[in-house]
Chains A and B, each alone.
Chain A
């Protein structure tokens, strides 16, 4: 089991560029989510999905798009990068409907927007 994998580990973008952060899990988890982590702010939920074809917004969705075409993959797209999107991004997955089930986190992607 690879668990939750994220690529790339590091990325530098210029303002206005677009890119996709990849997330994949091999645990057959229905629930997947994206968080961003900023110093002194903890982790904030960007988008989440409770299954293939179903996505919803979290606390800070602006500037990000997601889709869920398969159970395994949940990519996060930045359409036009801004310096405010400089952050560390974490993907997580878990079973759905089992309240309080452990969420498994990926190793993170460190994004810098100049």
Chain B
């Protein structure tokens, strides 16, 4: 079984400042890692994913994440945030059980971008 920890429940940041949202996972097998974003009153949308290969993964809206196997982390970063990035961000993992589709989510980080 795997688990995901998002230590920061809320992250306030000023517009145009950089941001990092932290994600750590625990698993006894190799995993696939994802970041999803949820805008208010909407479903979730995939930001980026790591399956294999380069540990630096680029996603939509200027976000990127780095997979660190030794630290079991997959932190999400953006060099300059915009008001429109205000949303809740979920880190998730899956492994090869169930065909690799079953996701385990973290508890989410609310990113609030202020002027």
Contact = CB atoms under 8 A, between A and B. Distances in A.
Given A99-B99, A103-B101, A42 B106 contact: yes
A100 B97 CA distance: 11
A4 B46 CA distance: 14
A60 interface: no
Contacts of B34: 100
Given A40-B9, A42-B105, A42-B106, A90 B99 contact: no
Given A40-B107, A99-B32, A105 B99 contact: no
Interface string A73-114: 000000000000000001010101111111101111000000
A103 B90 contact: no
A45 B102 contact: yes
A34 interface: no
Interface in A35-56: 35, 40-45, 48, 50, 56
Nearest to A40: B107
Contacts of B51: 99-100
Interface stretch (B13-21, B37-45, B67-75): B37-45
B90 to A, nearest CB: 6
A100 B44 contact: no
Interface of A: 4, 31, 33, 35, 40-45, 48, 50, 56, 58, 90, 92, 94, 96-103, 105-108
11 contacts: A33-B101, A43-B90, A48-B102, A50-B98, A58-B102, A92-B44, A99-B32, A99-B101, A100-B32, A101-B100, A102-B46
Given A31-B99, A105-B45, 10 more contacts: A42-B6, A43-B105, A45-B104, A48-B98, A99-B94, A99-B100, A100-B49, A103-B46, A105-B36, A105-B43
